[in-house]
Amino acid sequence: MGLFLLNSIEMNKSNLYKKILSDIENILDFSVPTFTNLGNISALLKSHFNWFWVGFYKVERDFLILNAFQGPVACVKIKKGKGVCGKSWEENKSIVVKDVDLFDGHIACNEASKSEIVIPIRDKKGEVVYILDVDHDKINAFDEVDEKNLSLINDLIIKII
């Protein structure tokens, strides 16, 4: 019974992601700045999942600079390799952090953040140009379903950058 419930929850989450990905595709507007589209993507994700913080950091030289986001005040500048976002950029891979207090080098932009998922967004050449950062105020909030589906957003964002 417990396994059935878990599979049911995962299926429902996957279905919600399918809807959100479709919604994102429908709201993309090629006539406006990338920032505007990323703002709408952040808003959709935050409102559908009720996450604590959702946003994008833009790669600018050796730093990630805060870009479009939804949620409380955040860190505005992160050096490559620092914190979860900087490490994701440096390693060019997604990172799921079940408990941010256990992540060596975690940057506490907000103490209410307890878990985090970070997804690199790559351009057509495969270079990381943005980092999608999502925080939750509960421990162990993200899993491989989130990682897989949030990574699909890259396919949509690549159309607007």
| CA triple 19-160-15, angle to 5 deg | 10
Percent of the chain with pLDDT over 90: 84
Number of domains in the chain: 1
Give me the helices (H) in the chain, please: 2-27, 34-49, 83-91, 144-157
Is 115 exposed, middle or buried (CB count within 10 Å of its CB: 0-12, 13-18, 19+)? Answer: buried
pLDDT in tens, 84-139: 999 999 999 999 999 998 998 888 787 889 999 999 999 999 999 999 999 999 99
Q: Residue 97 is part of a domain; what is its CATH number?
A: 3.30.450.40
Maximum alpha-carbon separation in the chain = 51
Domain encompassing residue 80: 2-157
Q: Which has more pLDDT, 1 or 24?
A: 24
